[in-house]
Amino acid sequence: MEFNHISVLLHETVDSLEVKPDGIYVDCTLGGAGHTSLILSKLGPNGRVIGIDRDDDALQNAKEKINDDRLITVKDNFENIASAVEYAGFDKVDGILMDLGVSSHQLDVAERGFSYMKDAPLDMRMDRTASLTAYEVVNTYSERELSRILKEYGEERFASKIASCICTKRQETPIKTTLELAEIITSAIPQKFRFDGGNPAKRSFQAIRIEVNSELEAIPRAIQAGNELLSVGGRMSIITFHSLEDRLVKNAFQKLERPCTCPTDFPVCVCGKKPSVRIITKKPILPTEEELEMNSRSHSAKLRVCEKI
């Protein structure tokens, strides 16, 4: 199936990087390669983009669609940005982009098991060579652990009830498909609350996907590693799609801008930790009304940007 993905906040994100013709840029989440394509259009012959993704479909799509020697693709988790940049032959970069979350392609291809709207085996792996799948999470995690994941990663108010229903159902027979799981989740939510904030399975599917792919743990590590790779004046631009991601990015940026750990009542800093970035976006950049109308998946998107000093 063709890799279809509409890049969110496309021009805002690439503009925020202030692309230099001879610069080296890292697209940590290559996806549909929309951001990478626009960056490449601004580069001269000596500029490069290092495109990282753990999804083979994304990497193959980029190679076929772009076919540009200035693009270096690396299959890896974006938290391993340092080794990807080293593999590409560089030690410093001029800009870093992260477009977090799941891609449109992963949602649209039923067999990937990301969507609660299409019937498929429970999978949800961004890297299809990884061992942990949604099937294992749903059928082998304890009720307590399932409840924790649904509450923490999905911010699901009925996490305990959903976890209990999942465990009851799987005692009869393993839960194998996305629609089967979606039906169990829906039945566990009181009817008057089922469609608060969209599909009743939305939050739980998000939570299980995050667990399968260890998405949240990777964000602070990737930001820290990316900061160490940035040249002075280089920028890091990150798009998030839910409050958990956005909070992690916001906090990580603030820690880089204000790293001092001295007690607040100390008259002067004695820890010696100096700021390494300045935050460009005091408030996140949001999609325009036009983009919201054109792409429903942009509704929760937020862009935050920092600059190395």
Chain segment 285-305, per-residue pLDDT in tens: 999 999 999 998 898 999 999
For the residues of 69-103, what is the DSSP string, one character each?
Answer: TTEEEEES-GGGHHHHHHHTT-S-EEEEEEE-S--
At residue 195, the pLDDT reads: 82
pLDDT in tens, 180-231: 999 999 999 999 998 887 899 999 999 999 999 999 999 999 999 999 999 9
Sign of the dihedral through C-alpha 69, 78, 35, 65? positive
Kindly tell me if the per-residue pLDDT of 273 is higher than 80: yes
pLDDT in tens, 55-95: 999 999 998 989 899 999 999 999 999 999 999 999 999 99
Sign of the dihedral through C-alpha 98, 102, 103, 104? negative
At residue 133, the pLDDT reads: 98
pLDDT in tens, 12-62: 999 999 999 999 999 999 988 999 999 999 999 999 999 999 999 999 999
C-alpha to C-alpha distance for 201 and 218, rounded to whole angstroms: 24
Sign of the dihedral through C-alpha 23, 28, 29, 31? positive
What would the two tokens of residue 65 be? 């669609």
- Residue 4: which pLDDT band, with cuts at 50, 70 and 90? low
- Residue 2: which pLDDT band, with cuts at 50, 70 and 90? low
At residue 107, the pLDDT reads: 81
What would the two tokens of residue 292 be? 């919201």
Domains of the chain, first to last: 10-99+216-308 (3.40.50.150), 113-213 (1.10.150.170)
